[in-house]
Amino acid sequence: MIVAFGNPLLDTIVTVKDTTLIQKYDLPIDGQKEVPLYLLKQLLQDVQDMETTCAAGGCAQNTLRVFQWFTGKVHEAFIIGSVGNDEKGSLVKSLMEADGVKTEYIVQNIPTGATVCLVDGSRRSLVANVGAAECFKVEQIRRTNIRSIMYDADLAYIEGFFLTNREEAARYVLDCCNTLKLMVAFNISGVYVCDMVPDTLQYFVEHCDIIFGNKREFEAVAKLMKFSTVKELIQKILKNNTYKLKKVHGNIVVITDGANPGQCHHGEGEYFEFHVMDVEQDKFKDSIGAGDAFVGGFLAGLLEKKPLDWCATLGCYTANEIIRQTGCTLPKRPPVFDLNDIH
């Protein structure tokens, strides 16, 4: 069983033909930005006459949806987070459960978090107001079924955005996982997380078993932790072995770099590169959720005890499938890989 902690969001995906809105709202290209609720509502008004698609969103939710599609729902998957007592919260819950992911949401009297993703060809800019998702407190964890779910899990996955404005609860979750000797995978998720919660981010990097991130995110973490190079950071992470994975892989660091080769570091300094799969230009839709999908495929392989090089291959495959869809929409066809055939 896999349990994930993250921001349950409702995504609105918009295809734009130019950078007018990106410039108007001062949005980063291929990046994320959190905004006040009034600005998100204003942006939604600006795109109301454009072609839009709605979907359950949030990094951890995307990863679990892809994980369940790829594995054929042979594992239980739980998403833990916080939503509002509103229609959006109910919709997110039903969308997740339709994709085979069980929800353990804490319901708040605050609007459910939402995002707008502006897509311009291969580039995308994501705007979020996480709303109720940030209202996640330690006492709420203690009062709910969350600890018993963690107790039964084989792996916990935590997105970096889960750390913002709820650092005490995030640390509590990680400490519970480590007390239970539960394997923990952490995704840095965004460069700006380093700026928002530097101390807590460093704590997670130092106390998790598996770290995912892209090249820019690892460069930001290396700078935060005062390492001269990403290589020095990786060496530090591998030495922080929590022993939960020591007999098999040791700690694992996975670095993606868009269409360029990625890297997987593990154990006592072992390392290999993996290559992403090509996609025909006319089949490419957008890159929304590609990184989340990669993690879903990688963790599917890991839970099935597949070799790490195969885990990376499976991650590349699931990412390749998602960039052929609009947003992080699951493919209608089943995956071509059968995990039982991989040794």
Residue 334 lies in a domain: yes
The length of the chain, given as a count of residues = 343
Domains identified in the chain, total number: 1
Predicted pLDDT of residue 253: 97
* CATH code, 317: 3.40.1190.20
Give the pLDDT confidence score for residue 241 in this predicted structure.
Answer: 65
39 within domain boundaries: no
The pLDDT of residue 83 = 97
Residue 292 is among the residues annotated as catalytic for this protein: yes
Please state, in angstroms and as integers, the Cα–Cα distance from residue 341 to each residue in 67, 71, 246, 305, 306, following that order: 18, 13, 26, 12, 10
User: For the chain, which ranges sit under pLDDT 70?
Assistant: 241-247, 343
Convert the pLDDT of each residue in 280-292 to its tens digit.
Answer: 888 887 778 899 9
Q: So what's the pLDDT on residue 179?
A: 92
pLDDT digits (tens, 9 = 90+) for 26-71: 888 877 788 899 999 999 999 988 888 888 999 999 999 999 999 9
Q: Judge contact between 184 and 241, C-beta under 8 A.
A: no
Residue 255 has a pLDDT of: 98
Question: Has residue 122 been placed in a domain?
Answer: no
Q: Which two tokens stand for residue 139?
A: 């006492």
Contact (CB, 8 A) for 58 and 159: yes
Between vectors from CA 123 to CA 38 and to CA 159, what angle results, nearest 5°?
65
Q: Is residue 298 part of a domain?
A: yes
- Which structural domain range is residue 270 located in? 2-9+57-110+131-341
286: three-class secondary structure by DSSP: coil
Q: What is the pLDDT of residue 104?
A: 96
The answer to whether residue 43 sits within a structural domain is no
What is the pLDDT, as a whole number, of residue 343?
61
- Other C-beta atoms within 10 Å of 45: how many? 9
Determine the straight-line distance between the first and last CA of the chain, rounded to whole angstroms.
21
**Residue 173, number of CB atoms within 10 A of its CB:** 25
- Answer whether residue 276 is part of any domain: yes
| Residue 17 in domain | no
Residue 35 lies in a domain: no
Q: What are phi and psi of 259, to 5 degrees?
A: -80, -5
Other beta carbons within 10 angstroms of residue 184's beta carbon come to 23
pLDDT of residue 93: 97
Please identify which of the residues 49, 292, 309, 341 carries the catalytic annotation: 292
